[in-house]
Amino acid sequence: MKGLKTLLPAALLLLLACGSSNKQALDRAREALDKRDFSRALAELVVLRNSEEELSTEARYLLGRAYLGLNDLPETEMHFKALLAEDTIYEDSVALAYKQRGLELGKVGERELALECFEEAMRTSTAIDMSDAYALMGELYSKYGELGRAVYYYRKTLATLSDSTTRAFTWEKLILILERLGDPGDAFIATEEAMHEHHYYLEPRYCQNGYLYAKDLLYRGQLDSAELVITRVLQVPLSPLLRDDIYFIAGEIRLKNGDIEGARAAYREVLKLSVNASSALVQRARERLALLGEEVP
């Protein structure tokens, strides 16, 4: 009996020593992760993984972060999945870890790894703010010519952003991609949406895209829509380099619509802008006015 009493404190001391050793290893691992020393963090945590004791949820989380920092995504996923199977309270933390690593990788050109991290973040939690990740995803997809996906993620960025300056940059990137895709309607609508948010520096682009869209609608015979678009464009200050073209296409639309007086007024504006208008455009405006029975000096 006396021997048993002697053994009990010894066993307790051993357990306490093991617990203290494990806590110290976790502390050192956390410190290494804070310093971005992923190899050292992993070395501290591997000792715990190889021990006979079951890993704590925190140890699994730190192991996942260490492997993530070393770009070993299969090991990362294994530990994070095991962690979330035990305790879903870590969902947001895991998603944030994936997102942060994706941002780091994307900024140094590791496109595929970055996108994989972002996808894992989105699969893990819908509660975290992904606006900066969406913006980088749009940039990465745009850079490699996947314009449709770039548009999708820039629109997701706009759906989550509130800062006016950042929204302005995002709108501009989105509009540029839509222009590259060659659909004047999409480009015009996006520019108009941006203008509704008072990003007035986009006015020249708004006029350009409105002109191209109205012209496209005219050639497709959608005259009411063309008139609506060109009317909206004429309501903003027009770029001097584009004003004559816009008035001429307005004249063409109105003429097709049977609005003779409206067409005459638009063609007269082209002549008033003859300093900017090309000689060919001026001549065409004169011809239209002559056809409409108006003498042009």
Residue 38: the pLDDT is 93
Last residue of a domain, one of 125, 154, 186: 125
Would you say the pTM of this structure is higher than 0.85? no
Parent domain of 142: 129-178
The residue among 160, 103, 156 whose CA lies nearest residue 133 is 103
- Closest to 173 (Cα-Cα) out of 130, 139, 206: 139
56 and 120 belong to one structural domain: yes
CA distance 200 to 206: 9
Identify whether residues 108 and 158 lie together within a single domain: no
Residue 98's pLDDT is: 97
Model confidence at 4: pLDDT above 50: no
- Asked if residue 148 has pLDDT above 50, the reply is yes
Yes or no: say if 220 and 239 are a contact pair by the CB < 8 Å rule: no
pLDDT band (50, 70, 90) for residue 184:
very high
Decide which of 99, 125, 151 is a domain's last residue: 125
Give the residue, 104 or 48, on which the prediction is more confident. 104
- Confidence band of 28 (pLDDT split at 50, 70, 90): confident
Is there a single domain that holds both residue 163 and residue 90? no
Furthest-apart CA atoms within the chain: distance in Å = 126
Q: What is the pLDDT of residue 276?
A: 55
Residue 104 lies in a domain: yes
Gyration radius from the chain CA atoms: 32
Question: Same domain, yes or no, for 81 and 115?
Answer: yes
Assess whether pLDDT exceeds 60 at residue 14. no
- CATH number of residue 112's parent domain: 1.25.40
Query: Given this model, what pLDDT does residue 275 score?
Result: 61
pLDDT in tens, 202-213: 888 999 999 999
164, pLDDT greater than 60: yes
- pLDDT over 70 (residue 106): yes
Predicted confidence (pLDDT) at residue 240 exceeds the cutoff of 80: no
Q: Would 223 be classed as within a structural domain?
A: no
Question: Picking from 35-39, 171-175, 269-273, which range would have the lowest pLDDT averaged per residue?
Answer: 269-273
Is 237's pLDDT higher than 80?
no
User: 134 and 75, same structural domain?
Assistant: no
Instruction: Name the strand (E) or helix (H) holding 223.
Output: helix 223-234
Say how far residue 223 (Cα) sits from the centre of its chain: 34
In this structure, is residue 273 part of a structural domain?
no
Q: What pLDDT digit, counting tens, does each position of 30-50 carry?
A: 899 989 999 998 888 887 766
- 268 assigned to some structural domain: no
Which pLDDT score is estimated for 45? 85
**Could you tell me if 72 and 141 lie in one domain?**
no
Half-sphere exposure of 104 (CA within 13 A, CB side): 12
Same domain, 40 and 118: yes
Phi-psi region of 274 (alpha: psi -120 to 50; beta: other; left: phi over 0): alpha
pLDDT value of residue 103 = 96
Residue 81 domain flag: yes
Our count of domains for the chain comes to: 2
